[in-house]
Amino acid sequence: MTDDAPLPPLADILDTARVVALPLVTRFRGIDVREAVLIEGPQGWTEFSPFVEYADDEAATWLAAALDFGWNAQPAPRRDAIRVNATVPAVAAASVPEVLARFDGCRTAKVKVAEPGQRLDDDVARVRAVRAVMGEEGRIRLDANGAWNVDEAEHAIHAMAEFDLEYVEQPCASVEELSELRRRVKYMGIPIAADESIRKAEDPLAVAEAGAADIIVIKAQPLGGVRRALRIVEAAGLPAVVSSALDTSVGLGMGAALAAALPTLDYDCGLGTASLFARDVTGTDAAASALAPRGGVIEVSRVAPVAALLDELAASADRRAWWLERIRRTHALLAARTAPQG
């Protein structure tokens, strides 16, 4: 929630909560199905979807974002459409054209690298295939999710520099490693972006204060909502890329609201990920999703799910019970955070 907004009653949240399970086109982030809770608040539909392995304390921040978006008016938008990038999972190089074909008109591709069980040669082949499809004018950024150490990251960046990289996202896990890597590769002119070092850090500004990144990647849910994310961007003083946490189209609407409210937006955003779903809650397939990329952009809009799809894509009874209990626990944590002290 925002600093001054009251916490909605638990009963009001659970009353409209719908738990959905969306199948992915290809395995991504180690999962084949994305589960999420969609909740209808006074301002419209919102989403709560921290990954299942996240502890309650971290997940509570995601609930704060969901409740803020569903119960409070959001900052005024500065733009009505957002340019987005394609996202290429750690697929075989031969599968790259099929993946990119799902992202209509996107001029930028974010390529997942450093996948457990794969080698650098696999990454190089995948990025080469992306460059072949995108052509010389396409923009390519890498995302290692903090999987390399400094030496591995430096070697990998050298190996893929020939593909004219826009930036490398979270090549190493720690702020100290990012700072050292940035120093080593600065002469190459390839910027370093921070994601996990922002959204999973106790101090999201530490990466900027340490001079460890050129760009910050921000996500509305993990950072506690649109307003809190905007404050982090302002304090960091670095260019920002708004990205998705593999949200449904409802959650992507929250990300779009964040991107629309930024004073400047110099990079294509990672908000085209509806195209990674085989099914979404707003269309007959992912291509028909309300926030699927069209001409490389998504519209800034608050999305409402289709009632029939909420039924069709409903999670099993045991998974629904698991998610509702998670809401009860994280709501209690938020209540404790906002309780008067003394």
DSSP per-residue codes, 174-193: SHHHHHHHHHHHGGGT--EE
pLDDT at 123: 98
For the chain, give the percent of residues with pLDDT over 90.
Answer: 89
Residues 6+ apart with CB under 8 A from 105: 293, 294, 295, 296, 297
pLDDT digits (tens, 9 = 90+) for 240-272: 999 999 999 999 999 999 999 999 999 999 999
Quick one: which of 147, 298, 209, 89 has its CA closest to 287?
Answer: 298
Whether 283 shows a pLDDT value over 90: the answer reads: no
| 138/239 same-domain check | yes
Residue range 101-117: average pLDDT? Answer: 96
Residue 4 lies in a domain: no
Residue range 297-305: average pLDDT? Answer: 94
For the chain, give the percent of residues with pLDDT over 70.
Answer: 97
Catalytic residue among 110, 112, 186, 200: 112
| 123/188 same-domain check | yes
pTM above 0.85, yes or no: yes
Residue 113 lies in a domain: yes
Annotated binding site: 143, 169, 195
Q: How far is the C-alpha of 13 from the C-alpha of 8, rounded, in Å?
A: 7
Q: What is the CA radius of gyration of the chain?
A: 19
Whether 1 shows a pLDDT value over 60: the answer reads: no
pLDDT at 32: 93
Q: How far is the C-alpha of 261 from the C-alpha of 269, rounded, in Å?
A: 13
Residue 255 lies in a domain: yes
Catalytic residue among 110, 186, 200, 219: 219
| 168/121 same-domain check | yes
Output the average pLDDT for the chain.
Answer: 94
pLDDT digits (tens, 9 = 90+) for 165-220: 999 999 999 999 999 999 999 999 999 999 988 888 778 889 999 999 999 999 99
Structural domain count of the chain: 2
| 148/239 same-domain check | yes
| 122/167 same-domain check | yes
| 180/104 same-domain check | yes
pLDDT digits (tens, 9 = 90+) for 53-73: 999 999 999 999 999 999 999
pLDDT at 286: 62
For residue 30, the enclosing domain spans 10-73+307-338
Q: Position of tokens 């309780």?
A: 339
Residue range 102-112: average pLDDT? Answer: 97
Annotated binding site for Mg(2+): 143, 169, 195
Quick one: which of 331, 329, 301 has its CA closest to 7?
Answer: 331
CATH number of the domain residue 177 falls in = 3.20.20.120
What's the distance, CA 79 to chain centroid? 20
Residue range 292-318: average pLDDT? Answer: 95
| 88/164 same-domain check | yes
Q: How far is the C-alpha of 221 from the C-alpha of 82, rounded, in Å?
A: 18
CATH number of the domain residue 17 falls in = 3.30.390.10
Whether 115 shows a pLDDT value over 60: the answer reads: yes
Residue 270 lies in a domain: yes
Bridge partners of 39, per DSSP, are: 46
| 117/62 same-domain check | no
Residue 219 annotated as catalytic: yes
| Confidence grade of residue 284 (pLDDT, cut at 50, 70, 90) | low
Residue 312 lies in a domain: yes
| 97/116 same-domain check | yes
Residue 230 lies in a domain: yes
Whether 30 shows a pLDDT value over 90: the answer reads: no
In this structure, what token pair is assigned to residue 4? 């001054």
318 half-sphere exposure, CB direction, 13 A CA radius = 0
First to last CA, the chain: 21
pLDDT at 57: 96
| 190/95 same-domain check | yes
| 35/90 same-domain check | no
| 256/113 same-domain check | yes
